[in-house]
């Protein structure tokens, strides 16, 4: 397989730093998804195999359908174990920042992260990263951060060290962030990498089953409720909005991750090019944006909703009542799509 086209500035310096056992902390973004946890655990397994002591820190809990991954039990949740996480950051020799492009993406973890004296390395594929690390492996062309972790291992000339544990974690990151290999970011190299990972004995159906086929009955009924009663469709302009109130969440006993994938479903409607999921929280509304083709939801999220992300998948938030946020979307999105 061809050497990755991405590169690491000061690669020799990084290799020298990792030439002897180090205390390494791996961090990822708030509300971690499959790519965030998969890339973090995959990197952790690799570094441990090289003799390093690793600590994975997530800002908060993530969906239970990711808890099967090798190493999950060792992940420290910052919102539940602040002293332990802060001590790890304070004594680290190197800190990795995975799947986020700015310190504010880790919420309350940002302050101890920035105060930590250890050099930091960014591995990420989101647009417009801020300059807050000493080393960087970044490209928006990558399908996922898990793909970039594979690239990192390859640049370190260590692909022969990839084993089942690393492969299962990295495959999960790629699978989830490519929409099961449906997104435009699914390149030939993505398939080459996943083929290499599969050679480690992965049961890809079992992994898919654990991630996507573990829904509760209430979650399925919640999706039906959203499609029937909470989805607004503007077929003329080509967009849809699903709104989820706190009352809806309580009614269907939603758990972490239960809204996963809901924002993508309106894109299955003929003629719909953009989709929005507006989820009411205490004091604000969380927004998810998806689109097809050349419709840039990253720019839309940044311009109107304090957010950002990828071209076809972005997020944002608005500190306003749910009905006001829906009004704003209906006012701004049609103009944006038609401009």
- Tens digit of pLDDT for each residue in 248-284? 999 999 999 999 999 999 999 999 999 999 999 999 9
Interatomic CA distance for residues 277 and 280, integer angstroms: 10
pLDDT at 6: 82
Same domain, 221 and 196: no
Last residue of a domain, one of 211, 237, 269: 211
Beta-bridged to residue 317, according to DSSP, are 286
Same domain, 225 and 148: no
pLDDT at 214: 94
Please determine, for residue 19, whether its predicted confidence score (pLDDT) is greater than 90. Answer: yes
CA dihedral 244, 250, 253, 254 (to 10 degrees): 30
Strands 94-98 and 23-28: parallel
Same domain, 173 and 259: no
5 in a structural domain: no
pLDDT at 90: 98
Interatomic CA distance for residues 84 and 133, integer angstroms: 23
pLDDT at 181: 96
Same domain, 171 and 37: yes
Interatomic CA distance for residues 216 and 222, integer angstroms: 10
Beta-bridged to residue 284, according to DSSP, are 281
**Look-up of token digits 């951060």:** 145
| CATH number, position 240 | 3.10.310.30
pLDDT at 4: 66
Same domain, 227 and 110: no
In percent, the amount of the chain with pLDDT more than 90 equals: 95
Same domain, 171 and 234: no
Same domain, 72 and 194: yes
Interatomic CA distance for residues 287 and 161, integer angstroms: 40
| Domain count within the chain | 2
Mean pLDDT, to the nearest integer, of 276-293? Answer: 97
194 in a structural domain: yes
Please determine, for residue 3, whether its predicted confidence score (pLDDT) is greater than 60. Answer: no
39 in a structural domain: yes
Residues 196-226: tens digit of each pLDDT: 999 999 999 999 999 999 999 999 999 999 9
Same domain, 153 and 224: no
**Look-up of token digits 């654990």:** 210
Please determine, for residue 136, whether its predicted confidence score (pLDDT) is greater than 90. Answer: yes
Beta-carbon contacts of 121 under 8 Å, excluding residues fewer than 6 positions away, are 14, 94, 95, 96, 97, 133, 134, 135, 136, 137
Please determine, for residue 164, whether its predicted confidence score (pLDDT) is greater than 70. Answer: yes
Please determine, for residue 2, whether its predicted confidence score (pLDDT) is greater than 60. Answer: no
Residues 65-97: tens digit of each pLDDT: 999 999 999 999 999 999 999 999 999 999 999
Interatomic CA distance for residues 266 and 273, integer angstroms: 9
pLDDT at 9: 83
| 290 Cα distance to chain centroid | 14
Same domain, 222 and 207: no
Contact (CB, 8 A) for 185 and 178:
yes
* Domain around 299: 217-338
Same domain, 269 and 159: no
Last residue of a domain, one of 159, 182, 211: 211
| CATH number, position 153 | 3.90.1640.10
3 in a structural domain: no
3-state DSSP assignment of residue 314: strand
């Amino acid at each position: 397989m061809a050497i990755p086209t991405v590169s690491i500035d000061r690669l020799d310096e990084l290799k020298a730093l990792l030439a002897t056992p180090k205390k390494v902390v791996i961090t990822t973004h708030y509300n971690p998804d499959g790519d965030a946890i998969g890339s973090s655990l995959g990197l952790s397994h690799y570094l441990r195999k090289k003799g390093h002591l690793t600590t994975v820190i997530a800002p908060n809990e993530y969906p239970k359908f990711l808890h099967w991954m090798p190493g999950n039990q060792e992940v420290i949740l910052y919102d539940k174990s602040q002293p332990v996480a802060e001590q790890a950051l304070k004594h680290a020799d190197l800190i990795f920042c995975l799947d986020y492009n700015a310190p504010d993406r880790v919420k309350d973890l940002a302050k101890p992260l920035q105060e930590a004296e250890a050099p930091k390395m960014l591995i990420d594929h989101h647009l417009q990263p801020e300059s807050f690390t000493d080393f960087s492996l970044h490209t928006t062309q990558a399908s996922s951060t898990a793909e970039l972790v594979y690239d990192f291992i390859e640049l370190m000339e260590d692909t022969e060290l990839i084993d089942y544990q690393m492969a299962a974690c990295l495959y999960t990151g790629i699978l989830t962030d490519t929409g099961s290999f449906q997104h435009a970011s699914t390149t030939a190299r993505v398939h080459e990498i996943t083929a290499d990972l599969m050679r480690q004995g992965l049961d890809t159906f079992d992994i898919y089953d654990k991630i996507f086929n573990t829904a509760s009955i209430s979650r399925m009924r919640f999706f039906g409720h959203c499609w029937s009663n909470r989805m607004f469709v503007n077929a003329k302009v080509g967009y849809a909005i699903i709104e989820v109130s706190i009352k809806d969440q309580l009614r269907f006993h939603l758990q972490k991750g239960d809204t996963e994938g809901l924002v993508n479903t309106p894109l299955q409607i003929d003629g719909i090019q953009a989709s929005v999921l507006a989820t009411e929280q205490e004091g604000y509304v969380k927004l998810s944006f998806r689109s097809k083709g050349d419709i840039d939801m990253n720019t839309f999220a940044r311009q109107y909703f304090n957010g950002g992300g990828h071209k076809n998948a972005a997020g944002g938030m608005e500190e306003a009542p749910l009905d006001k946020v829906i009004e704003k979307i209906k006012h701004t999105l049609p103009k944006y799509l038609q401009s």
